[in-house]
Structure 1
Amino acid sequence: MSQSNTLTVQIMDKEYCIACPSDERSNLESAARYLDGKMREIRSSGKVIGADRVAVMAALNISHDLLHKQQHLDHQAGANREQLRSLLNRVDNALAQDPNEQGS
């Protein structure tokens, strides 16, 4: 593996060397910073002890947030589809009206 395809990130004071395409380096760095922040937040709460447990709790929290946001986006997409359907029906009805009735 060439050095240009790897990225070293630091999470909870440990270094991890990760294979990464050059066009994804910035995204991976951001993801590592986000994960590090979540893990430090959980560790500092004092409720979870041990790096493995902290990592699992961070993964669960991040997964929960992701699923919650996906559900919100799905709901919003459904509402947008309904609104679009309603607007298309109004346009269809307006176009289907008799032109002689529009002047009345």
Structure 2
Amino acid sequence: MSRREQIEALLADDPNDAFLLYGLAMEYRKEGAYDEALTRFDQLIQQSPPYVAAFFMAGQMLAEAGRVNDARTWLRNGIEEAQRQGNGHAASEMSELLMTLGQMGE
């Protein structure tokens, strides 16, 4: 059983577990299954409170996939949420990535 399959089995018991959803998203990302990863990242930001790391990882993944405008949107939303949650470190990391994407052109 692969790591992804193990996580999916655990999620069957607790489908809203943020740690497991994040792990599953990262496994999909590693496999290059970006749409599936994005679906899990989206689930994480719909939770209350939104899972801030999901914004950063989704933005990073989208940038790597060449979807720069989508990456910018995720990062801007993530920066706002990180600031709302008082997570200055995450906001700073996302701001840095957003600045590098700005230099990559439109």
State the TM-score, normalized to the length of structure 1: 0.25
State the TM-score, normalized to the length of structure 2: 0.25
Larger Rg: 1
Q: Compare relative contact order (CA 8 Å, sep 6+) and give the higher one, 1 or 2.
A: 2
